């Protein structure tokens, strides 16, 4: 069964995820004896060899990494024109690189943001900026370490699609989209803070 939520429904994923291949052994970075769990914003985490070695599926809808588009654009232009290209980026990648790589990001029917770890809240600012600053109007998907307890926040930051981690139930996760009925602050999904949304009268003394 599919683990992909679009809006408030579970749907089949029609996009074929393209990843950069792992060449050789991945090195584990350590700092002060501890494994480094997060990559720095702007850190380059792939090599030209990886991009060169990436196999682009010949047909169908593909969800390709931003770095692949930037380096091998010529091979992907026709797919973009056919509506068969979507782009994903990591939370440590710089959003400006995505925006400047397209004449209009709304040419993309889907942008997906990969969150490697639950605790990486950069994904929220990225979603917000895509929607508010860059006017992205099509499907915005979160994938990676996506668990139900992020969903309410992701939704409020402009995401409308969530690929729940494979070992968890997307069905259960749907409930978390409704965790709070009337949040305080304005955000992407509802720009009005509660005091502009409803009339709040002073409460009577308890």
Partner 1 sequence: MYKYDEIDQAIVDERVAQYRDQTRRYLAGELTDEEFRPLRLQNGLYIQRHAPMLRIAVPYGMLSSRQLHKLADIAARYDRGYGHFSTRQNLQLNWPKLEDVPDILAELATVQMHAIQTSGNCIRNITTDQFAGIAPDEIIDPRAVAEIMRQWSTFHPEFALLPRKFKIAVSGTKQDRAIVQAHDIGLEFYRDSDNKMAIKVWVGGGLGRTPILGSVIREHLEWQHVLTYCEAIIRVYNLHGRRDNAYKARIKILVKALGIDEFRKQVEAEWAYLKDSPNTITEAELQRVAQYFTKMPYDTLPAHDASFDSAIASNPAFAAWVKRSVHAHQQPGYRAVTLSLKPHGRAPGDATSEQMHVVADLAEKYSFGELRVSHEQNLILADVRLSDLFSIWEQARAAGLATPNIGLLTDIICCPGGDFCSLANAKSIPIAEAIQQQFDNLDYLHDIGDIELNISGCMNACGHHHIGHIGILGVDKDGSEWYQVTIGGKQGNDASIGTVIGPSFAAEEMPGVVQRLIDVYLQERTEEERFIDTVRRIGVAPFKAHVYAKKEAAHV
Chain residues in the site for partner 1 (CB under 8 A): 29, 31-32, 36-41, 118-122, 124-126, 128, 132-133, 147, 149-150, 152-157, 176, 179-187, 191-196, 198, 200-206
* Smallest separation, CB 147 to partner 1 (Å): 7
The helix/strand/coil state of 164 is coil
Q: Which residue's CB is nearer to partner 1, number 64 or number 154?
A: 154
Q: Which residue's CB is nearer to partner 1, number 68 or number 93?
A: 93
The rounded distance, in Å, linking the Cα atoms of 100 and 66 is: 11
The rounded distance, in Å, linking the Cα atoms of 159 and 124 is: 9
Q: Which residue's CB is nearer to partner 1, number 8 or number 192?
A: 192
Q: Which residue's CB is nearer to partner 1, number 74 or number 206?
A: 206
* Smallest separation, CB 74 to partner 1 (Å): 31
Q: State both tokens at 109.
A: 């029917």
The rounded distance, in Å, linking the Cα atoms of 63 and 167 is: 22
Categorise residue 139: left if φ over 0, alpha if ψ from -120 to 50, beta otherwise. beta
Compute the radius of gyration of the chain from its Cα atoms: 19
* Smallest separation, CB 12 to partner 1 (Å): 25
* Smallest separation, CB 186 to partner 1 (Å): 4
Q: Which residue's CB is nearer to partner 1, number 37 or number 53?
A: 37
* Smallest separation, CB 170 to partner 1 (Å): 14
Convert 131-155 to b/e letters by CB count within 10 Å (16 or more is b). Answer: beebebeebbbbbbebebebbbbbb
């Amino acid at each position: 069964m599919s683990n992909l939520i679009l809006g408030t429904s579970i749907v089949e994923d029609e996009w074929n995820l393209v990843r950069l291949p792992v060449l050789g052994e991945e090195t584990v970075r350590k700092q002060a004896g501890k494994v480094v769990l997060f990559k720095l914003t702007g850190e380059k985490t792939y090599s030209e060899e990886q991009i060169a070695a990436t196999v682009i599926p010949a047909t169908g809808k593909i969800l390709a990494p931003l770095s692949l588009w930037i380096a091998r654009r010529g091979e992907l232009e026709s797919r973009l024109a056919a509506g068969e290209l979507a782009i994903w980026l990591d939370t440590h990648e710089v959003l400006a690189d995505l925006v400047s790589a397209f004449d209009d990001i709304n040419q993309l029917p889907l942008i997906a943001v990969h969150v490697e770890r639950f605790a990486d809240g950069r994904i929220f600012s990225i979603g917000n900026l895509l929607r508010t600053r860059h006017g992205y109007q099509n499907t915005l998907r979160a994938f990676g370490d996506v668990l139900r307890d992020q969903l309410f926040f992701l939704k409020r930051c402009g995401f409308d699609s969530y690929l729940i981690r494979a070992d968890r139930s997307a069905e259960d996760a749907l409930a978390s989209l409704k965790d709070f009925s009337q949040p305080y602050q304005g955000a992407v999904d509802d720009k009005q803070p509660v005091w502009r949304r409803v009339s709040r009268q002073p409460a009577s003394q308890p």
